[in-house]
Structure 1
């Protein structure tokens, strides 16, 4: 009888210890919008983050990944980050710009020459200043950015090689006014559509086309409803790695260090996968049955002349000249180094 009592007491003690350990584990809900497979840069990066953080913290942070918009669209996730109901997310440009307007400066088209320039600017003083400002104004911490792909126009009506070919097309854009301005400056009409609803909008003919990078075109099977893709590369689009500041401040110093280091690993994986797909755009999209329309430097100059001044004017009217001027200065500094 005494032996049985000792076993019961020992079992209870083990359960108490396990329960105490679980109680001190911090749940980190991590949302993103791509599918849950390793060919998706967002998901591959999220899995790497999960493994890295849980290993470095010995499980004191329990990372729970919610892919494919399971926790809602961009607007809901940004609200969740501010309220603390979502602890972390990789969010694209449009929803960020709707909450933190200065981010829309990155929608000024034909600014960056290539990934090397874009990464250097966003990893440098410009990106650091934006992260600090975002934190102060929204309560959301931005650790850094990874590629959402170099954005190109697709449609199901005709090849687009220069701005005049855009006239009359109904184009889906992200849910922020700056993207409406970009498309309308080229003569098309713009319809904001949340990312989860885009495939349906294309399939049903609500819009003729859209603009996205290769990763998203493939990941969401947009090629099934789009015949033409024009490689104009109008915007270097971003996924920002965001965290609720309240959650971050509730971490120990060691946990903060682990999260920061692991974001760097995730970001590097994310960038590499997306940039590789952009570099192989012609081969990848041709294989999917799309007609790839090359855009020559002279044609791209026409796109730039039509779109850049109008978008910059709109951005300045919304947020002032400080951030556009900072971006111009950062690009110029890169070119002169």
Structure 2
């Protein structure tokens, strides 16, 4: 009797740990990213595809469309997700701000101090769930925020003219921004001149002096060969986390049985972890290449970084007053950041002694 019971228990455990059996109804997820195969978004999608197809035992197929095969910009792609012609899309805050303006919260400067804080805030927390609730409500239950990862590390000020050590050094520089309002308000707060330029035109704009600087991570700078256009000064102020917001058609997600929805959710967790790691690894050779090519890399002191944050403070008031839902979202982000910082600092206290 004991052996029989043991065999039954082992069999049950094997069933629980085995891959899901293929269901009678198969599902195909069409996922797109307006990037290329050198990008963190692509790394995340490869991990997502491998995990979901394997863990669903073939019940879910994931098709990847990299570039502009299905849509060409954030607004168009999000509309594709809403109408169901696209199942999964990754957008930056700038790309989604026209539809969900409060996601510009990720462009607010100096809110999160480092990767540990950012990753704690964005992993299975109430802040991301608030974004999901608001996006579902604003899209008529069609666009579901699945997770928020990273696409390029942190935004830093870079320019063609001079080293930037403090806010005054940015004065009068023509800084490229996206069309979204908040990045332009930040540049104005620092006494520079915001100049909206489409991403594909930035190299030529730097080369010809239409703009003199930008706000980018080092991997984007090197992948796009901006130093060849004269971009030789980078200040590692880390003013904004380059968030990648992954959305999915809500009807497609809810049409799956619960066990497959669980697989998809777990797949986005795997994707998120891949995008957290990818920029860290890729930035190492990118920084080396930048410096070897004659680039000037400057790390602000804590006092200098505090001066940047102080100069940028008016942007928070602008966000609360001008962005629908902004005050609620910023409060939620600050609360999540404070909790993450407290837990991390408590860990330091325990681990350093």
TM-score bin (small chain):
0.7 to 0.9
Distance 1:159 1:252 in 2: 56
Any idea what the Cα deviations from partners look like across 1:231-289, whole Å, max 9, x if unmatched? 11111120012111122123333332221111111111110111344577743532454
Distance 1:202 1:92 in 2: 22
Q: Is the 8 A contact 1:115 1:275 kept in 2?
A: no
1:325 pairs with one of 310, 321, 331: 331
Q: Is the 8 A contact 2:31 2:89 kept in 1?
A: yes
Distance 2:60 2:307 in 1: 51
- In the superposition, relative to structure 1, how do residues 289 and 67 fare at CA in structure 2: closer, same or farther (>3 Å)? farther
Kindly state the Cα deviation for residue 68 of structure 1 after the two structures are TM-superposed. 3.2
Q: Is the 8 A contact 1:150 1:278 kept in 2?
A: no
Residues 1:144 and 2:147 aligned together: yes
Residues 1:304 and 2:305 aligned together: no
Kindly state the Cα deviation for residue 132 of structure 1 after the two structures are TM-superposed. 2.1
Residues 1:316 and 2:320 aligned together: yes
Unaligned runs of 5+ in 2: 1-21, 344-353
Distance 1:29 1:91 in 2: 15
Distance 2:336 2:26 in 1: 41
Kindly state the Cα deviation for residue 162 of structure 1 after the two structures are TM-superposed. 1.3
Q: How many residues align?
A: 313
1:251 pairs with one of 232, 238, 256: 256
Residues 1:293 and 2:298 aligned together: yes
Summarize the alignment of residues 18-97 of structure 1 with structure 2, pairs less than 5 Å apart. 25-37=26-38, 40-70=39-69, 71-97=71-97
Q: 207-216 or 323-332: which moved more?
A: 323-332
Any idea what the Cα deviations from partners look like across 1:32-86, whole Å, max 9, x if unmatched? 133224xx32212211212222223344433222223443122221222222222
TM-score scaled by length of structure 1: 0.85
Q: Is the 8 A contact 1:45 1:269 kept in 2?
A: yes
Unaligned runs of 5+ in 1: 1-20
- In the superposition, relative to structure 1, how do residues 109 and 281 fare at CA in structure 2: closer, same or farther (>3 Å)? farther
Residues 1:118 and 2:122 aligned together: no
Root mean square deviation, CA, Å: 2.4
Distance 1:263 1:288 in 2: 37
Q: Is the 8 A contact 1:97 1:103 kept in 2?
A: yes
Kindly state the Cα deviation for residue 27 of structure 1 after the two structures are TM-superposed. 3.7
